[in-house]
Structure 1
Amino acid sequence: MLFRKKSRDMDEWAPMPPLVVASASLILLAAVVAMTVRDINRQRHHMSYILSEKGAAIIRAVEAGARTGLMGMRWGGNQVQTLLEEAAGHPDILYIGIVDKDGKILAHSNSSKIGQTVPNRFSRDALKTTTSGLWRIVGVEKKVKAFEVYRAFCPLAGQGKIRGRGMTMHVDPNTGQARMDWCFSSKGDSSDQIIFVGLNMAPFENERSVDMRNTLLMAGLICLMGLGGFLALYWAQSYQVARRMLQDTSAFAKEVVTSLPVGLIAMDAAGRVAFFNHSAEIITGLSRMKTLGRDAKKIFSEHMEGLVYLLEPGISVTEQEIECEIKGKGVFPLSVSSSDILGEQGHYVSRIVILRDLREVRDLQEQVRRQEKLSAIGELAAGVAHEIRNPLSSIKGLATYFSQKFDKGSDDEEIAQGMAREVDRLNRVVSQLLDFARPSDLNLRPMDINELIPHSLKLVKQDALTRNINIISQPGGKPAFAMADADRLTQCLLNLYLNAMAAMNKGGVLTVRTAVEDSGDVRVEVEDTGKGIPSQDLNRIFDPYYTTKASGTGLGLAIVHKILEGHHARIKVESRPGQGTLVSMFIPGAKNAQDPKAQSGRE
């Protein structure tokens, strides 16, 4: 029997509670006990019926013998006594006797009892019973009981027309012999004598005991089988529930382990790969289906050079940072951990290796270091710019004054003008320092980046034509709304354009793309076909005053980084020496933003 148990999400089948099992067992036990008692009573009733019929048959036989003798008119007391003694010779018959209505024994299979009175008087209804007999159970000897059948003794019963004619039996006090005489009574259907037969109950009692034992044994077996069935059903359901819970737990654990952000690789006792989660596939570039069941050492030696030592049993490694060369993916910074899995008896079961990609961590660490460096340089730049700008104004004034004192075209005039030009250059550097040190007070508002790109490209269009550079704009297929400061973002784009064109001194292609990411961020890509950036310089390009150009100040990309930082945007640089550079900016999108023109129109 199953019961429904409602849960919040769905209905589940619940096993029978122990109380239900106990109740069902008690009901089964009560039913078996009732059936057993009924069977025992039915056996007792059946035994009584058989013995009473047997006693009645013996009584009829005695009456038939007496009737035969009386018909011949040759009977006396000795013949009746002999008949009773002969009839009682059967082993199942303990005794046969005839008494008068006062209970005095007139004839008995044991002649010594003649003349005595029976201990327990017979019911007077026996004198009126001439066909079926009455019965009772009496004690004969210690532990011996007799099934006693009795009724009126009518040897002439059934003689049809002879009515009122009976027979009496007398006992001679001198000789002790019984004598049968004819007698007449007022009623022809009654008698003054009672015949009784004592039957041995031992065989029936033995059989009934055997039947009772068998019945009780069968009842016990039924109870045990029923209880066993209930327990088996309960245990089977408990097993199913435990199995389902184990399966759910295993599925949950497997899903959790599979979705871990770290690579998890497990080997069995033979060193074969037994588990390979999705993160491990991403880190190693290997397919899980191609690694499961294969030798782990062979896979590590072929695809992950430098990690084979992690597979040696007994070696425990925790969060060890290494530079690992992965086939087809280059050198990766990884955090590796490895340990053995032991059974309850301490025997080796398997080994587990955990890989964590540190590239993102390293990038975040680099960004923090760069931000700290820029912050320190910015504070220094603000102080230096303030202290230098005023003397520069004085120097430029003096240079202009002296240039007017010298003759036109003289060397002194050229030197004075060169001094003024250098002062202007220093002033531009100081202005850039102030821009770099100035707090990023941005006026962020929703705007379509696709409308900003064409405006920014117009500012460098003429310079690109003189350098033989072709400009390609590839806006996305839908509006790219983002929260941005148009002026500062335009400044950021101009710096990137100028750097890209400076890298293409022999001409090339400048491509600008926009797209909307699935996350809602706007991606802006600036790509050139210039000489590229060496890999050893990629980590330093955003440092202030770092430049590879002879006339550069090294503040252009530092200002770009600071502007994007104010927009809470990210920047990513990929470069292939001799092929070009791709700069990708990821600007937070403006959710539910509308066209700024439409907004201004409503205002």
Structure 2
Amino acid sequence: MWKQTLLQMIAAAVPYFAFQVWHDRAATRISKPFYLALFSICSLIIGFVVCASDNRLDMGFMFIPLFIGSLYGGYGAMAVLGSVYAAARLLHDGLAAWSLLELAGVTALVMPLLFHWIGPEFQAMDRRRKQLVLFALMTGVIFVHLTVFALYPDEAGLSFRALADLQGWTYIFLYYATAFVVVYLIENYMDRLRLNENLSQWMTQYRIEAQKLKQFVEEHPFGVIFAERGGVISHLNERARTMLRAGETEDELLGKPYSMLGGYAAGRVMTKLLEQALAGHASATEYAREQSKIYACMGISIRDPRGSGVIGAAVLAQDVTELSLLQGEAERMERLSLVGQMAASITHEIRNPMAVIRGFIQLMRERSPENQREYFRIVMDELDRANGIINDFLSMAQTRLSERSPASLHDLIDDLLPLLMADANMRGLTIELELADEMPLLLLNAKEIKQLILNLCRNGLEAMEERKGTLRIRTRAMPAHVELQVADDGHGIPRERLERLFEPFFTTKTQGTGLGLAMCLGIAERHGGTIRVESEPGAGTTFTVRFDRSAGG
């Protein structure tokens, strides 16, 4: 008896070990329930072969693969396993009354319970509840066996003939223990598979996010360098290598100490900022001049979110050469505008007395002798020539239409955006774009419109230095006109000052010439446009520049 019992235990348990090995090594990943159902059928057949060596077929342990394969494999597996069990029973015992009674009892009592528990409800159970379900099913089988034993004591299963002695109870214990161990092993393996699947998904998501970050850093207009806590370079993009004039490739620089970057001015500033950031010190924006280039650099400490301190550092560097040139150009044009207006005022004041002088000279000519009139004519001609020179100077001082070509406001904003973002970053401010979906081409002087946008944005950024906010740049395309809006979250402008806002030399800033907005107004008017300002104290200011499409054509 014990030899056959041991063989049945092995037949019931070994296929599940084979399932684990095959599933781990299989190239294809067919669903796990299919594998379990397949190996349960194999286990049932092996158990039948083992038991067939005896004159009477003991089907006790063969119910373990039947139940487990059905519970994990579903209704299809239950149909196949039930058919195999019935065929094995009929093939070995024929139409014996006790065998048919046992088959009918299992079919009428146990199989409905099995059918009830198959499905998502069983799959959602924890390990202990699954073992209890299997315990209930196997108890039902024992009840059927005992009933048959009571009716046919000489024909029933071999293991239950000695139910009253130790062998019978040992058999029942092994019967339950084998089932519990198999379920335990299956659930352990399933947990490991789920853990591996989750780990694989996390690793895939990690690779995707890492690739996104790497691509973002590579495409970013800033030069970016990352360093680990140990002081070695972990990543740097192409723009950073260009700024550093590094001859090495990225692979050659990775893993090297960041101190090797200090060969040029930009590298020395970046090295200093990395050192400060790794030490956990807050660093301000520093500028590095490299030949004709100017770089704005800022160091950032990368901290562990769990609070274990600094785990790395990064340096962001931007080429602000064009921004500096534009700022210098704007200041120069403000000074030139001031000089031009002063010169226009002076020449206007000179022309008025010259007109009086010419009038009196003409009167004196009419009253003078004939031989002296030629002298008066010469004086009047020279006065006329001087007046012509003054008129020409005034004409030059006045704003003239500059050369224009078809252009889009969006393209000009895109050209200035990196410079404006750098200026905003240095002030601790942000910029938001709300651009129209479509923007028609207008006849614009690109340099002047860029100056207009830059002046309005700089005014907005300067207005928010004391209260951090957001600068918003909007565009709208209407059927008859196009609008550009620049709005800030500054303190606003009092109503009594709005009327004088575009007057030359009038300013609301402590340091300013008062010519910037006057210059913007002149640029807008030369393009057939207007500027409107809306402001409330404490609510910010919005400048709206409107360009007519007809004027642009």
Same fold judged by TM-score > 0.5?
no
Task: Tell me which protein shows more strand as a share of its residues.
Answer: 1
TM range, smaller chain = 0.3 to 0.5
